[in-house]
Structure 1
């Protein structure tokens, strides 16, 4: 077992996170990985395993956009590369370059670009001009556009060379969409298309090293330009290389522009390109002059089909050269994503050449609330959308244009405020300011796949109309229950429905019905969402025999009618639409009493008492209420603090309740239960513990010692000596940031050893060894408590902003392998394997 200073190893098990609700936030690289912003972290996920692999922490502001070099468009140029690169831009104008080594999967931050943008970066778009050279452009809401060149190192570990080619301002109407392309021919000219708030597409031309000059404007859209994408050159009649530009707008339309090389530029053309051009003259359109070559631009097609803003358009990535084709082949296929909750694939009809919508997906997404972007996989057989609710939606072409939904990572899209393990340890539950409660579980697979289990979101028990601040899982026997507290004065009690219990059995591959055999007693199959997103009404087993025979999708009749939920037993992890609609838990009770928004909840270890606190500016409002589990009667109002009680925890024997507060005090109440079930309580200690707000506390699972963590960057360990006296055992060395979360776990064989997990405001998590000796009376004997830093968790698997809560899984059997769950303001839920050697 572990002695003081024993070796502790930490591995990532699971990361759950939702996508920022921003348009240019997602990028699918030639590496096969997808990047997206999750608050101020850059998250990387693998579509093959539907798992988030890592998060990249350095941004101090919300991540607005990510862009791979090379993207899926340049897969054919990425074959020889050992490193792939990723650009990420944030709301403060900072752009960071990251390097991924394909050989070992390791990430490193290469450099932070010189900050030329004064406001948030809104779009980054790049192209590969050779195997080792890339050019990219960035734009910001301050109206500036920058064009950069990046030269990759020839060998791994070498340095990248970055140079700024041109920086210019486009005025007060900033650009929100960019696309770069190499013009056909041997001129080496680059064209940059940009569009934004003035409804026009602006084309700039420049050499590989020189400045970019405004060449012409394309008019026609009647609202903001939202997305632009150049094709690779397309051969017509195997002679002329044309290049196509597709644009989409908030006017619900998509336009395809053709750029064909001119043999020579006549004076007439030169004059017409300078003149104001109306839509009627677009048959010829303006001429783009780039160095010694020129290109005639014309409107190829206008695609009408979406019913709302079209946020993104993208050409299908080129297919690699084959025996039939010597060159890479650019398919004539465009993917569009819209706020009307659909993605469409457009292709020209073989005979007439008229562009048609050939595939539509997503039309049944009642809860997606629109798509913010769509992306092709590098091989063109999968399409990915990200939605208003931070969710991903992935479809794969399984043959003959049959596009089927696939599993994707999921998670909260706002700060995750609380997290807890199930009583059985089978799953974790988290709640968030995105107004949802979510359940994640390892889905065990019978076949011997790699690792044998992957974590997935398996239920969304509460979808609410208020931000949820706290939750507590009830630890008593019987059915799974939890209590949620939100920005309202009511705590709500939820009970697991039959559909969830059966789904959980499938996830854990249990042979029996359930550990407590509760399935036979549960008469509620699921729950319906309320009109205002407040009370979730039960759906009873008897009433749904017909509905349960249908599949969930059959219940959807039209887009306008909101159907009843169809509670479903899942045999594989559910996808977004199923989670949002068919996995709700029914609400069984409301707990009234608090005067303000709820802030903290906790349940005792026997599952008999619940404690709750709310936001408070006075002693009367700062009362902690005690509720009896089952009858849900208020059985106590504990007065001690004058400001919000930030966290509470019952001691391991349930005899004491520890509370910490914004008023810098901690309090201990003794809780006595009489044989008749009555509760008596009294305040035995109130003491100022720190110089700033106390954010967190945690009891030693095997004694009456406890830890408190504060904004003053310290963690203090205290001990109850007698009924009413407290002794401070020690203060840990000062931390680099405010301490916002604590969780203490003890070891069963060596009860005098433990690990204290410490979470901080900067996202860092540290594990500290605690070892001590007890005297005969149970007190800690001299020389007292010995502490040492066991491990500082790698920042690439830690949080990128404040750690809000930490929770150890109670592990009665294995004494060397433990699991730690955490949640944070970076929208992430994380699970770590902690091994003690």
Structure 2
């Protein structure tokens, strides 16, 4: 960790606490490596997570387009070759055709950007395949919608100081119908030759043969599928009588079928006719396919089996990773295939012991009302777990916990949004974090106190509820502050704001999650009569399910079978969760009921905020004229519209009430900010408002604003790459105090937190369009006499977060967790969300800033770097598995 060289010695240490992200909804996006970690793409970030702990460890920035596919070296298939490897490698390809190679050092847990593959594809990369031919040499192929397939050899360094070397072996043009599935293997009995299988839009499987040095030629075509080929996977050579003569290829298609092909070594091509003597009559012998030649050997292809069982497109098939018997150096390929389909199921297929007919022996799946199913399924390296990723950007993990028989049970997995996260808000006392996204969902993330799997030793964060599942992209949300039940307002790509109230099932779940804390009030549950919510079939409203109704319905169902009909059984059954939920529970059983709709805006909702007493909610919508750009004020409780504030001429991008709720600040695309005076009149609930100040503050769009918690100073951030500090004087005018140095990217998010009210200092978190986040110390200088006036402000950077810790694209919102009473201000939590689909939480520790010796908070301009704990976290996850393999 590097430290500031300033005289004050100020330093902020930032630690990553939590990352929530969903998977891009494309095939081939997920890869499970021999190191025990899984990789996937979340927008343009490569995300690494540990299935063992259900936590995302880190994200890798580097792609400028959406990540389509990933591939580990070694993958789970080659885990038997990875026992002594100190470094593992990961390929990632994006929608622009860029391919990047990353390196993971197992012992230190550190990641390194190794290289960008040159002369890669002109269009999006759709699939990778790769094999380890030795501990330091891998061969991989990539395909793209540009109609080409590239084959590369990569040599990994044998020492810590070496560099990776990349060699182009072949570039194949496949014509106007691109390939979407690839698999690469060494031919049995002829390891100097490789076979590359590819399939795509022409419904055929094409086999190419070539030496390890390149020069691949088209060998033959395999016909049988009647729709697009979606997945291909070669087994390792099948050993019989100490010899490897056969290799199997499994293929899946949109025709819902799975086919197993056998490639048998028949002998030398010079004596081929004498070698084709059938050793026995079998089903495959009647379905023999073509013969192809590789070097001096020839191979007979035959259809081994046709597997029928899925009811929709089969997107992926994968052989169970090989096992190495004790005392033997030969890897044995288990006869077990995992398939994943759009019918929401994964199946494990194995041949029956007596007849040899392939049968479906395990079926697992999702029973939610998700419209579509799984994009892919993957084995763990030891074959005891299977992982699927689905249409909802979600993961589904099952582990075989049986001893004498198979018993596959669902496990916890990371979760998050699968589209840009537009807004976040902390609960009143910081118990949880609420986020809304363009994936049309609202989600709640919270630390689960009982969980001991957290890599940092603290609480383990999970998604604990999905209050809203909507039909439009959700753009904004605000938690209603003040007393009473937990409530929030959300605004989407519709002209209506919706109010949601926490049901009893959520309150009890939250009580389980934070049971180690004494701050949660169980009395709140007593007045709540709504158990949960149900989504109406033909609408967007979430209807309440009352406690009494649910009890009566349960009794009716238990008393008579005649009530077991679709009309009387609710689709959603609210559940109280005693441990972190899985996707099936989140998607349907954690909805919040909608209590009100707020009508008034003429366009899509864009911004929301609530005052700190919980009395007023302000809303704005997309606008291109002054009449539409008005800000509406809503009274909490009665939900009447109590004001329309006119000032801006274009969309109001963010609003925020001052901490004493006397002022409302708004910033807009028209490059202006406005400050309104908000007053409550008399003992009634009526309010009065007037425009105090309006000023063109920046040269470009103003994206963000934030108030000083200790006064009437505020910050604005703009596309012109500047942040400016302003002060409201005498409730009548605004004067500029300070302009921070020009940033390298547009400023898109701001959040100001106070540290010491006596010294008027705090931290300003600044998020940018390039995804980076910086923390700046701000100190406001005021006069000490009776007429308090602001003299000026000083600012200095105290932390620039490592790009690996930050977002891979624009930061959309930053929010400091509301500090509890008597809480130490030296340690705080900062939440962020971005266009990379991620929600992030950081711990910021700053003993120096509140130190008594730093009276003027005059930090030097030097950069203070961050200690990133990702290395320690990944090390704790990886080393146990590594030790188990080595043993």
User: What does residue 345 of structure 1 align with?
Assistant: 348
2:770 corresponds to which of 753, 762, 767: 762
1:364 is aligned, of 361, 364, 367, to 367
3-state SS of paired residue (1:769): strand
- Contact 1:684-1:724 within 8 A present in 2 as well: yes
2:101 aligns to what?
97
1:588 maps to which residue? 595
Distance 1:438 1:651 in 2: 27
Segment drifting more, 766-775 vs 127-136: 766-775
- Do 1:4 and 1:770's aligned partners in 2 also have CA atoms closer than 8 Å? no
How much does 1:780 deviate? 5.7
Flag the 1:354–1:526 CA change in 2: closer, same or farther, 3 A.
Answer: same
Task: State the alpha-carbon separation in 2 of the partners of residues 471 and 631 from structure 1.
Answer: 19
Inter-partner Cα distance in structure 1 for 2:70 and 2:264: 31
Greater CA drift, 230-239 or 166-175: 230-239
What do the CA deviations read for 1:613-664 (whole angstroms, capped 9, x no partner)?
0011111110000001011010000000001000000001100000000010
- 1:263 deviates by 1.8
Secondary structure of 1:796 counterpart = coil
2:671 to 664, 672, 675: 664
- In structure 2, relative to structure 1, the CA distance for the partners of 1:114 and 1:456 (3 Å cut) is same
Matched with 1:62 is: 66
| Offset of residue 4 of structure 1 | 6.4
Matches within 5 A, 1:12-161: 12-161=16-165
- 1:276 aligns with none
Higher relative contact order, chain-length normalized (CA < 8 Å, sep 6+): 2
User: Residues 503-555 of structure 1, C-alpha deviation per residue, up to 9 Å, x if partnerless?
Assistant: 0000001576942721000000000012245100000000112667999xx9x
Q: Who is 2:551 aligned against? A: 545
Alignment match, 2:780: 772
Residue among 628, 633, 639 paired with 1:621: 628
Residue aligning to 1:310: 314
Shift of 1:681: 0.2
Aligned to 1:275: none
Which of 814, 817, 837 is matched with 2:824 structurally? 814
Which residue, 326, 334, 337 being the options, matches 1:334?
337
1:829 corresponds, among 839, 843, 861, to 839
* Aligned-pair CA distance for 1:317: 0.2
| Partner Cα separation in structure 2 for residue 131 and residue 747 of structure 1 | 53
Q: Describe the shift of the 1:769–1:31 C-alpha distance in structure 2 as closer, same or farther (beyond 3 A).
A: same
2:851 matched residue in structure 1: none
Answer whether contact 1:505 1:513 (CA < 8 A) is retained.
Answer: no
Aligned to 2:608: 601
Q: Which of these residues, 427, 438, 442, is aligned with residue 437 of structure 1?
A: 442
Residue 697 of structure 1 is matched in structure 2 by 705
Identify the match of residue 409 of structure 2 among 390, 400, 404: 404
| CA displacement at 1:559 relative to structure 2 | 12
Aligned to 1:676, what secondary structure does the other structure show? Answer: coil
Structure 2 counterpart of 1:228, from 221, 224, 232: 232
Alpha carbons 2:376, 2:388 under 8 Å: kept: yes
Contact kept? 1:133, 1:150, Cα under 8 Å: yes
How do residues 278-293 of structure 1 correspond to structure 2 at under 5 angstroms? 283-293=287-297
Structure 1 unaligned residues grouped into runs of 5+: 273-278
String of CA shifts for 1:334-357, please: whole Å, max 9, x gaps.
000000000000000000000000
Pick from 483, 490, 496: which aligns with 2:489?
483
Q: CA-to-partner distance for each residue in 1:293-338, whole Å, 9 max, x for gaps?
A: 1111100000010010000000000012314x54111100000000
Superposition TM-score, scaled by structure 2 size = 0.90
Aligned with residue 507 of structure 1, among 513, 521, 528? 513
Residue 378 (1) aligns with residue 388 (2): no
Alignment RMSD (CA, Å): 2.4
The answer (yes or no) to whether the contact 2:452–2:459 under 8 Å persists in 1 is: no
- Residue 683 of structure 1 corresponds to which residue in structure 2? 691
1:120-168 Cα deviation digits (max 9, x unpaired):
0000110000011000000110001100001111122421011111112
Q: Deviations over 1:558-589 (max 9, x none)?
A: 99999521111000001001001000000001
Q: Is the 8 A contact 2:534 2:570 kept in 1?
A: no
User: Is residue 656 of structure 2 the alignment partner of residue 652 of structure 1?
Assistant: no
Q: Any conservation in 1 of the 2:285–2:302 contact (CA below 8 Å)? A: no
| Structure 2 Cα separation of the partners of residues 61 and 269 of structure 1 | 53
Aligned pairs (5 A) from 1:165-564: 165-265=169-269, 283-323=287-327, 325-367=328-370, 369-399=372-402, 400-445=405-450, 451-510=457-516, 514-515=520-521, 517-532=523-538, 534-545=540-551, 564=571
- 1:718 equivalenced with 2:726 (yes/no): yes
Tell me how far 1:288 sits from its aligned partner.
2.0
Corresponding residue pairs, total: 825
In 2: Cα distance, 1:686 partner to 1:746 partner: 26
Native 8 Å contact 1:548 1:568 kept in 2: no
Cα distance 1:191–1:94, how it changes in 2: closer, same or farther (>3 A)?
same
Counterpart residue number, 1:7? 11
Q: Which runs of 5+ in 2 are unaligned?
A: 1-5, 277-282, 848-887
Give 1:749 deviation, angstroms.
5.4
**1: CA distance between counterparts of 2:286 and 2:33?**
35
CA–CA separation in structure 1 for the residues paired with 2:787 and 2:223: 82
2:867 is aligned to: none
Distance 2:767 2:167 in 1: 39
* Residue 633, structure 1, aligned to residue 633, structure 2: no
Quote the Cα distance in structure 2 between the aligned partners of 1:563 and 1:218: 49
Greater mean alpha carbon deviation, residues 705-714 or residues 258-267: 258-267
**Per the alignment, do residues 511 and 520 of structure 1 end up closer, same or farther by CA in structure 2, a change over 3 Å counting?**
farther
In 1, Cα distance between equivalents of 2:610 and 2:663: 12
